[in-house]
């Protein structure tokens, strides 16, 4: 039985196969309509979500399966003191696969260690968000045509943004990838990530100004400042609008640069940018359904004949 805790749990070759399946799903959706008949997905979300939970549920419904779960820790027996380990033991009696989001780093890993069914980390604190990474990689691979030879700017809250940490982890496996980290001093990418990049001889720069590096980017990955992970409101208010991507900044970017954002967006991308063909964050959310369908099939060991 396999789980997905970290994007590196899958080899680059396995990810390629997953993306090929996701592409086939996009083009031949009806072929997959009964693939998970009789199977159930449990979504156990101890933290708020729109995209991840609903795209998992849409993915299982598209596959002909069913869904159950909770979207708020307050409506689960966690409020009575039940542990994550006991909860997943119970969920294993009710469902075939589980997607879990939790505010505590490592909680889905604890669940996986005792689970009777595959567990997917749907985001654990400020740590990892592997299915967002699969979505991001599929978006880049599909719309840019490659995952190598890329200069990727990551902008905003690089300290608390788990999608950023997961994406960097996954991208370092591809050739000729270079990172530009754009953040205020307080929200710099954690040292463990820059140490890892140094160890692997992967080029990176850290800058504070977005404008100056726009002309060099293949991909701009915008992120919101993670209000829920700040210890005080004053710091959040001071930093929340540090970067706002607008039309004037987009005019500095190459014509084929792509703007991704895991969403939700707050103020960091002006709505004026939404009509720019380089703004692909809504398309990215759609790819999230295909890639989660492919992931469910892979973890359940289900193949669909062509």
Pairing verdict, β 66-70 and 150-155: unpaired
- Output the smallest distance, CB 261 to ligand CP, in A: 9
101 is a catalytic site residue: yes
Active-site entry in 52, 131, 133, 223: 52
Give the count of residues interacting with ligand CP (CB under 6 A): 9
For position 126 contacting ligand CP by CB under 6 A, the verdict is no
Active-site entry in 23, 51, 89, 188: 51
CA torsion, ordered 101, 270, 147, 108, to nearest 10 deg: -10
What counts of helices (H) and strands (E) characterise the chain?
10, 9
Q: Which residue has the tokens 């989660």?
A: 292
Strands in 40-45's sheet, in edge-to-edge order, are 66-70, 40-45, 97-102, 119-124
For position 263 contacting ligand CP by CB under 6 A, the verdict is yes
- Output the smallest distance, CB 197 to ligand CP, in A: 24
The full length of the chain comes to 306
79 is a catalytic site residue: no
Stretch that binds ligand CP, among 13-21, 45-53, 86-94, 228-236 (CB under 6 A): 45-53
For position 2 contacting ligand CP by CB under 6 A, the verdict is no
62 upstream amide cis, omega within 30 of 0: no
Q: Are 268 and 281 in contact (CB under 8 A)?
A: no
- Among 267, 271, 228, which Cα is nearest to 250's? 271
Residue 46 to residue 23: CA distance in whole angstroms: 31
CA distances from 5 to 39, 137, 272 (A): 21, 16, 36
- Output the smallest distance, CB 224 to ligand CP, in A: 10
- Output the smallest distance, CB 136 to ligand CP, in A: 10
For position 71 contacting ligand CP by CB under 6 A, the verdict is no
- Output the smallest distance, CB 273 to ligand CP, in A: 18
129 is a catalytic site residue: yes
List the x/- string, 202-221, binding to ligand CP by CB under 6 A. --------------------
For position 166 contacting ligand CP by CB under 6 A, the verdict is no
Binding residue for ligand CP, selected from 49, 121, 139, 284, defined by CB under 6 A = 49
CA torsion, ordered 14, 16, 21, 26, to nearest 10 deg: 150
Select 118 or 123, whichever has its Cβ closest to ligand CP: 123
Cite the active site residues. Answer: 51-52, 80, 101, 129
Site for ligand CP, rule CB under 6 A = 49-52, 123, 132, 262-264
């Amino acid at each position: 039985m396999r789980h997905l805790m970290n994007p590196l749990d899958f080899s680059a070759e396995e990810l390629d196969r997953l993306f090929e399946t996701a592409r086939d799903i996009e083009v031949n959706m009806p072929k997959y309509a009964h693939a998970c008949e009789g199977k159930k997905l449990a979504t156990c979300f101890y933290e708020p979500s729109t995209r991840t939970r609903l795209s998992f549920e849409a993915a299982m419904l598209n596959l002909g399966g069913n869904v159950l779960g909770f979207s708020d820790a307050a409506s689960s027996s966690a409020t009575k003191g039940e542990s994550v380990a006991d909860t997943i033991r119970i969920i294993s009696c009710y469902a075939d696969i589980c997607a879990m989001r939790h505010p505590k780093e490592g909680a889905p890993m604890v669940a996986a260690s005792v689970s009777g069914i595959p567990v997917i980390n749907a985001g654990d604190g400020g740590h990892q968000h592997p299915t967002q990474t699969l979505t991001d990689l599929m978006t880049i691979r599909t719309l840019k045509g490659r995952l190598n030879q890329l200069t990727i700017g990551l902008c905003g809250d690089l300290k608390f943004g788990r999608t950023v940490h997961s994406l960097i982890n996954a991208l370092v496996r591809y050739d000729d990838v270079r990172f530009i980290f754009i953040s205020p001093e307080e929200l710099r990418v954690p040292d463990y990530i820059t140490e890892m990049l140094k160890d692997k001889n992967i080029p990176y720069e850290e800058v504070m100004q977005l404008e100056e590096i726009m002309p060099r980017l293949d991909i701009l990955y915008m992120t919101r400042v993670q209000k829920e992970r700040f210890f005080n409101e004053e710091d959040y208010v001071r930093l929340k609008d540090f970067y706002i991507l607008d039309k004037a900044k987009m005019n500095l970017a190459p014509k084929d640069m792509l703007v991704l954002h895991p969403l939700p967006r707050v103020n960091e991308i002006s709505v004026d940018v939404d009509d720019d063909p380089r703004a692909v964050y809504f398309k990215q959310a759609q790819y999230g359904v295909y890639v989660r369908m492919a992931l469910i099939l892979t973890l359940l060991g289900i193949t669909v004949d062509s």
